């Protein structure tokens, strides 16, 4: 009887140790997974921010080659006056041109959801007009980015007017 009791108490103790070890292992893996996921999301958020700024720089420079590379073939580009452009029209409107004298983005907010990112910002520009004059824009912009083969590309953009600054 004593042997059976000792075996049972040893068996119970072994099960408790095993269960405690398993629980600790699960808790650690649960703690690690969100941490890694958060780091990946933070990295992607920074990469999207860099892409938003690189697009701005390409627009300012009239760099059609970069604009082509940074945008998806399915691009829909909406202006604050409701005019829509596809990829070809968007790139053609800026390629080799100095459409902007100044272009500043502020009030950034970026949310990454898997391989899609939503970026919002305020877009303030001084636009070069064909007659040598300038105009200004003060708009809010929503961009949708998609991760394609490890690179963030612009899929959609929509602007809406704001009161003059």
pLDDT at residue 21 greater than cutoff 70: no
Q: Give the per-residue pLDDT at 42.
A: 84
2-161 CATH: 3.10.450.50
* CA R_g for the chain: 27
Cα separation of 125 and 103, whole Å?
4
pLDDT digits over 58-117, tens only? 999 999 999 999 999 999 999 999 999 999 999 999 999 999 999 999 999 999 999 999
Phi, psi of 34 (to 5 degrees): -60, -35
> Nearest 5°: CA angle at 105, between 44 and 80?
105
Which conformational region is residue 30 in: left (phi greater than 0), alpha (psi within -120 to 50 degrees), or beta?
alpha
pLDDT digits over 127-161, tens only? 999 999 999 999 999 999 999 999 999 999 999 99
Tokens encoding 83? 């005019």
Per-residue pLDDT averaged across 11-28, rounded? Answer: 46
| Domain residue ranges in the chain | 2-161
93 by DSSP, 3-state: which?
Answer: helix
Cα separation of 13 and 163, whole Å?
72
In angstroms, how far is the first alpha carbon of the chain from the final one? 89
Cα separation of 3 and 155, whole Å?
72
CA nearest to 119, candidates 66, 155, 67, 87: 155
Cα separation of 102 and 50, whole Å?
19
pLDDT at residue 164 greater than cutoff 80: no
pLDDT band for position 25 (50/70/90)?
very low
134 by DSSP, 3-state: which?
Answer: strand
Q: Give the per-residue pLDDT at 66.
A: 98
5 by DSSP, 3-state: which?
Answer: helix
pLDDT digits over 74-85, tens only? 999 999 999 999
User: DSSP assignment, residue 162?
Assistant: -
């Amino acid at each position: 009887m004593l042997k059976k009791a000792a075996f049972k108490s040893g068996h119970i103790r072994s099960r408790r140790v095993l269960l405690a070890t398993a629980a600790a292992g699960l808790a650690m893996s649960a703690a690690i997974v969100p941490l890694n996921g958060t780091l990946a999301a933070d990295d992607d958020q920074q990469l999207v921010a860099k892409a938003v700024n690189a697009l701005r720089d390409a627009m300012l420079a009239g760099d059609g080659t970069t604009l082509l590379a940074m945008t998806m073939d399915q691009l829909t580009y909406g202006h604050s006056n409701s005019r829509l452009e596809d990829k070809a029209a968007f790139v053609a409107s800026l390629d080799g041109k100095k459409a902007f004298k100044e272009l500043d983005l502020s009030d950034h907010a970026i949310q990454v959801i898997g391989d899609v990112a939503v970026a919002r910002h305020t877009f303030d520009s001084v636009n070069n007009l064909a007659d040598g004059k300038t105009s200004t824009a003060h708009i809010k912009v929503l961009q949708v980015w998609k991760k394609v083969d490890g690179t963030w590309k612009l899929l959609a953009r929509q602007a809406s007017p704001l009161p003059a600054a």
